[in-house]
């Protein structure tokens, strides 16, 4: 093989391999970070579910304790113990039917102290019917299956005169949809209930069969990667297991597509440039090796690849070498500039991937970034600060990737538990970005853009200037865009009303120095709506003077 061909391959192959390896490595690191965030979110959801179930069980115990002190019920149970028969049982069943109807229970059973059922009623098709007690199994605490129906059962003793005369068990139909998260209930490995309505129980059971009882695992259902983890702190009864399950591929799809688009474009340009440089270098590197090495050594000492100035010569090869080396140095400097541009596009794609999850938040991250840059320029932040707030504004809500769609896109007001999950997105966002080099300057914006001036915000309850200025700016403009944007459960506010609410919250929720600046910028443009402010923000980002009194702010 000729020297020219060997030189070409020596340049081109490593560059191609490096680009391919870089894409693979960054994609794996990003997806690994996303997987860790998804698992952390899944664990947090499960802790919340366990706390909710524990509160329900405690409430039911207190309620049953009150029921157990009912004199009529105690008298009926005592009569049933002394004179067991159909008439006494019917009397107790009538009392249980009245109690269950009043308290919206689905199952109410009186058992002997040895747990043998004496009398009971259960709701079927909206009506209460006596429960067969002859040969019936003892009523367990926790979950109990009766045909295709699963009850959550709570049991308390019935005491009279210091003696336990019977046991009272109350049950409600156990419905997984009440928890608002994808869950699977299994009994001895067989799926009993699932909130994944689009998947057959057989497929779910087959996928989870290799997880093992009480263990977190990764599994695939219909070629999609899922994370599954059991809810440990929940009393379900023998043989039952409740698992949370989260689709990792679905959560990672927007980010993966964004990465692929960016790297295909950047890699294509870089490989093309590398090919051109390699061809030119392979034709002109034969004779001027000594001069080139000397120049490279000099560049190594300075850290800057400067123009190669060879001695004047009429030799065509040396003349071409000088010209080619100059073009190569220029291409490297341009590649550095292109890399910075690709980095900016990558951040924008991350923000677009997040906004794409919900049509009501489309463009939210870009608008927050534009508004924040306009305010930062009016406050005379330097170029580094402007760049930080531009990128941080795009990434401020990236932690919502780790929030379940059932919560994030809920068409209505959130429950207290769901709102607690939403408040986790700044911490999730910091965990996602902390593992990626180059994102460190934006972490304060991502983590602290919901901190309030009076210390009532989250996640760290910082007060006043404890929160970095860039995060306080994003807090103001984020609130404005949220108020003026339509949501599935409400229409956006008008511009004037949104500004009024910002001014009302200045000094408590918002930095009192930033709100007047933002209001002055908006009012100077004559904006009357959120869409009008978009045009204003583009004008504000131009380097021009605004007539506003900010000297004392």
pLDDT value, residue 102: 82
What burial class does residue 320 get, using C-beta atoms within 10 Å of its C-beta: 0-12 exposed, 13-18 middle, 19+ buried?
middle
Angle at which helix 3-68 crosses helix 86-103, to 10 degrees, equals 130
Q: Using alpha carbons only, what angle is made at residue 282 by residues 280 and 285, rounded to the nearest 5 degrees?
A: 100
pLDDT at 444: 95
Identify the three-state secondary structure at position 103.
helix
pLDDT at 474: 96
Q: How far apart are CA 186 and CA 245, in angstroms?
A: 13
Q: Which helix (H) or strand (E) holds 128?
A: strand 127-130
pLDDT at position 541 is 42
Secondary structure of 65-82 in HEC code, one letter for each residue = HHHHCCHHHHHHHHHHHH
Q: What is the CATH number of domain 357-540?
A: 1.10.3210.10
Contacts of 190 (CB under 8 A, 6+ apart): 205
Q: Check residue 280 and give its pLDDT.
A: 57
Measure the CA–CA gap between 122 and 136, rounded to whole angstroms.
14
- Judge residue 112's burial from the number of C-beta atoms within 10 Å of its C-beta, 0-12 exposed, 13-18 middle, 19 or more buried: middle
Q: What is the pLDDT of residue 546?
A: 29
**pLDDT tens sequence for the chain (553 residues):** 554 566 566 656 776 777 677 666 776 676 677 667 766 776 677 677 767 767 777 777 777 777 777 788 888 888 888 888 888 888 888 888 888 888 888 888 888 887 788 888 888 888 888 988 777 777 777 787 777 788 888 888 888 877 888 888 888 888 777 777 788 877 777 777 777 777 777 778 787 777 777 777 778 877 778 777 787 666 677 778 787 777 777 766 676 666 667 766 766 776 776 667 666 555 555 445 556 566 666 655 654 556 656 555 555 666 666 667 667 766 666 765 666 566 666 666 766 666 666 665 668 888 999 999 999 999 999 999 999 999 999 889 888 888 887 777 777 777 888 888 889 999 998 998 887 777 889 999 999 999 999 999 999 999 999 999 999 999 999 999 989 887 766 788 888 999 999 999 999 999 999 999 999 988 775 444 444 454 545 444 443 322 222 222 2
Contact 169, 139 (CB under 8 A): yes
| The predicted structure's pLDDT at residue 335 | 65
**121: CB partners within 8 A, 6+ apart:** 93, 96, 97, 100, 107, 108, 109, 128, 129, 130, 131
- Domain boundaries, given as residue ranges, for the chain: 357-540
pLDDT of residue 270: 65
Question: Which residues have C-beta within 8 Å of that of residue 537, sequence separation ≥ 6?
Answer: 367, 370, 371, 374
């Amino acid at each position: 093989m000729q020297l020219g061909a060997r030189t070409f391959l020596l340049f081109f192959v490593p560059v191609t391999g490096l680009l391919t390896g870089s894409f693979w490595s960054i994609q794996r690191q990003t997806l690994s970070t996303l997987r860790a965030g998804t698992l952390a979110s899944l664990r947090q959801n499960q802790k919340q579910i366990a706390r909710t179930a524990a509160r329900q069980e405690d409430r039911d115990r207190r309620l049953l304790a009150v029921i157990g002190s009912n004199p009529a019920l105690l008298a009926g149970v005592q009569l049933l113990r002394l004179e067991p028969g159909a008439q006494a049982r019917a009397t107790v069943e009538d009392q249980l039917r009245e109690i269950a109807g009043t308290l919206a229970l689905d199952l109410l059973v009186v058992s002997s102290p040895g747990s043998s059922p004496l009398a009971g009623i259960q709701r079927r098709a909206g009506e209460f019917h006596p429960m067969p007690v002859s040969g019936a199994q003892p009523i367990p605490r926790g979950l109990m299956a009766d045909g295709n129906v699963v009850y959550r059962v709570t049991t308390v003793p019935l005491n009279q005169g210091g003696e336990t005369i019977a046991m009272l068990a109350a049950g409600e139909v156990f419905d997984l949809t009440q928890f608002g998260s994808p869950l699977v209930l299994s009994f001895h490995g067989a799926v009993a209930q699932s909130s994944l309505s689009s998947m057959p129980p057989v497929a779910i059971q087959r996928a989870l069969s290799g997880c093992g009882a009480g263990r977190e695992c990764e599994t695939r259902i219909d070629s999609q990667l899922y994370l599954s983890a059991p809810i440990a702190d929940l009393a379900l009864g023998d043989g039952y297991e409740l698992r949370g399950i989260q689709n990792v591929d679905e959560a990672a799809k927007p980010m993966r597509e964004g990465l692929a688009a960016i790297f295909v474009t950047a890699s294509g340009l870089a490989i093309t440039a590398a090919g051109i440089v390699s061809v030119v270098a392979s034709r002109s590197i034969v004779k001027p090796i000594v001069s080139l090495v000397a120049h490279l050594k000099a560049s190594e000492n300075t850290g800057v690849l400067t123009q190669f100035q060879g001695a004047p010569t009429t030799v065509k090869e040396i003349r071409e070498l000088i010209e080619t080396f100059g073009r190569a140095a220029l291409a490297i400097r341009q590649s550095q500039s292109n890399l910075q541009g690709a980095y900016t596009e990558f951040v924008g794609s991350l923000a677009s991937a997040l906004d794409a999850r919900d049509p009501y938040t489309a463009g939210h991250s870009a608008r927050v970034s534009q508004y924040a840059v306009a305010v930062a320029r009016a406050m005379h932040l330097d170029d580094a600060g402007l760049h930080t707030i531009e990128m941080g504004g795009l990434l401020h809500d990236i932690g919502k990737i780790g929030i379940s769609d059932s919560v994030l896109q809920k068409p209505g007001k959130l429950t207290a538990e769901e709102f607690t999950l939403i408040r986790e997105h700044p911490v999730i966002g910091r965990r996602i970005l902390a593992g990626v080099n180059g994102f460190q300057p934006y972490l304060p914006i991502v983590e602290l853009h919901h901190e309030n001036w009076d210390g009532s915000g989250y996640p760290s309850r910082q007060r006043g200037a404890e929160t970095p200025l860039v995060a306080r700016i994003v807090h103001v403009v984020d609130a404005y865009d949220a108020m003026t944007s339509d949501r599935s459960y409400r229409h956006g506010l008008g511009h004037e009303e949104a500004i009024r609410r910002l001014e009302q919250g200045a000094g408590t929720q918002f930095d009192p120095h930033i709100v007047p600046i933002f209001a002055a910028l908006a009012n100077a443009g004559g904006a009357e709506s959120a869409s009008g402010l978009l045009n204003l923000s583009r004008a504000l980002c131009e380097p021009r003077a605004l007539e506003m009194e900010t000297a004392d702010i």
